[in-house]
Copies of this chain bind each other. A is one copy, B any other.
């Protein structure tokens, strides 16, 4: 199995930042007001296809015109940001979005930029991702050291090294496995002994699957998303798919969970410029409408556990229709319409309302997962 490495090396990124800084320096010295072009994530600049998810098509550039006051402020913020990223990269350090906001409170910076709201500094980081490009692809902010609070765990027979530099196996890192790195792009994968990976929306279900020994019995990895997955989790799933590990995602039956799955599968419009966040190969492993509402559905027996959708659930489902990655995806659109029709929703915990003894519950989980995998021609056991 192929062993990959990070997408861009830190020296490459540093080099790029320097190029931008020197270019800007030359421009102002020559007496020109700088003008910076970039592609935003408007619908014009994005394409969607079910096999690639959202992709940037770089159709209509936007410009920051340094002659305008507000744009000059943006450029000042950008120059300052780049200089901070440069320093952090040189020292192997990371920062959070909030850290960067506070860096703008350094007194001589604050006096000029007068930033009062983290939205402004977040925008500078987003802009940096769009301006720093190698071979037409945006550099994810994680690669210039700006990371979000990470979320999610992964358990299974897989050996890797993360920022700690140490080699570890994800079955030996505690009961939940490995806490996923804040910079999965740079994780080194050494060895893989799983036939598939199942990512579970809710921690409690993932824990149960681990407790019941399913990773060992089925030779699978179990990831716990802890709700809406973070960027680090989405990048990690992409990394696994790159290693040809079949990916299954197990979520609630609800319009929000369709969004969770679609973000994993297709990325989002806003972040479409960031490669490596979409996993179009990912399969929806459930819960699906047919599980409950088909007479032969595997969950038909616990159809009574479904709850009424709230107003905000229904609104979410209605909006889903206009999200290309849901509305234009055959399966997700069908699921979404079924929800809108039935106006009821289900949760992974519903397995508990079979009222089965644990031995039988384990069998139920196994048969559920293997059936779902079989639909997509993946054999587990």
Contacts and interface: CB of A to CB of B under 8 A. Distances in A.
A107 interface: yes
A27 B293 CA distance: 44
Interface stretch (A39-47, A165-173, A329-337): A165-173
A95 B348 CA distance: 12
A150 B176 contact: yes
Contacts of A92: 211
A100 B355 CA distance: 11
Interface string A320-356: 0000000000000000000000000001011111110
B102 A353 contact: yes
Interface residues of A, number: 63
A211 B93 contact: yes
Contacts of A355: 103, 106-109
A94 B208 contact: yes
A208 B93 contact: yes
A35 interface: no
A226 interface: yes
Interface string A339-381: 0000000010111111101110000000000000000000000
Nearest to A203: B149
Interface stretch (A12-20, A122-130, A177-185): A177-185
B168 A164 contact: no
A174 B181 contact: yes
Contacts of A104: 353
A182 B163 contact: no
B173 A204 contact: no
A110 interface: yes
Interface in A275-318: 302, 304-305
